[in-house]
Homo-oligomer: A and B are copies of this chain.
Amino acid sequence: MPAYRLDIGYDGSGFHGYARQPGQRTVQGELEAALETVCGVEVDTEAAGRTDAGVHARHQVVSFRLDGVQPERLARSLHKLLAPEIAVTRCIEVDETFSARFSATSRRYRYFVLNRPHIDPLRRHIAWHISEPLDVEAMGRAAAALVGEHDFASFCRKSEGRSTIRRILGASWKACSEDILQFEVQGTAFCHQMVRSIVALCVEVGRGRMDPETTTEVLEARDRGQARGAAPPHGLILWEVCYTKA
C-alpha cells in the first residue's frame, strides 16, 4: 500500500498531548478522525515525536499507508477540517519503507523562557515566565555538558525496560530578544520529559542555585531523583524533524 508523509504544526494548548487517548482531545485523535472523514476508512498514523499535553509543534511529521490518495487534495481537505489549531502544510507520497518515527535522523526542540519581572498575557501559552534574572551564560555551560551519547536516565520519566541512552547533537541557550531566552536542542531522539527536565536543570543553574559543572554529576548518577523536575510544557515547541531524504 502506498505510504504518505504529512507535515503539520499545532498549538498544543487545547490538547491532551499528541498521542491518541480514549476520552481525551488529542492531536492524533483529531487528525485520525479527520482522515477517516475525508477517506472513509480508519487510518493508523505514526508520528516523529509524541509531544506531551500543552507542548506545541512548529513542525511535526506523520506517516500512514492508504490506497487511492491524491496527496495535495488530501492535505487541503485535512487542513480545512483541522485549522486553525492544527495546520496541515503538505502531504506527499513517500517510499514504502518510510516511517515518520524511525526514518527521522534527528529532532530539534526549542524552549522559550520569558525572563522579566512581569508576566506577559500575550505570551503566556508559549513561554515559561521566570521573574528573577537568569545567568544565560551559565545555563549554556550546563547544557553543553550534555552533548554527546549518554545514558539520560536522570532526565527521563521511567518507562519499564526502555533504554534511556540518547545522543544529543547540540544544546545551547541564547538571549534572543530583550526578555526571551531560547534553548535549542537537537538529538537523534529524546525520551519522555527529557527536554523539559534538561530545561528545569539549566534554569536552576541560571538562578545560581547549582553550579553548571553539577550537570555532569546529575547525568552520571542515572537517577531521576537527582534532576530538578520538569519545566512546564507550554514553553516547549517541537521545532523541526530531520530526515536524510525529504
Contacts and interface: CB of A to CB of B under 8 A. Distances in A.
Interface of A: 9-11, 56, 58, 83-87, 89, 117-122, 124-126, 237
Nearest to A83: B119
A120 B8 CA distance: 10
Nearest to A84: B124
A11 B118 contact: no
A51 to B, nearest CB: 13
A119 B8 CA distance: 11
28 contacts: A9-B118, A9-B120, A9-B121, A9-B122, A10-B121, A11-B121, A11-B122, A11-B124, A56-B121, A56-B122, A58-B120, A58-B122, A83-B119, A83-B121, A84-B119, A84-B121, A84-B124, A85-B121, A86-B121, A87-B118, A87-B119, A87-B120, A87-B121, A89-B117, A89-B118, A122-B125, A122-B126, A122-B237
**What is the copy number of this chain in the assembly?**
2
A38 B122 CA distance: 25
Contacts of A83: 119, 121
A83 B121 CA distance: 8
Contacts of A87: 118-121
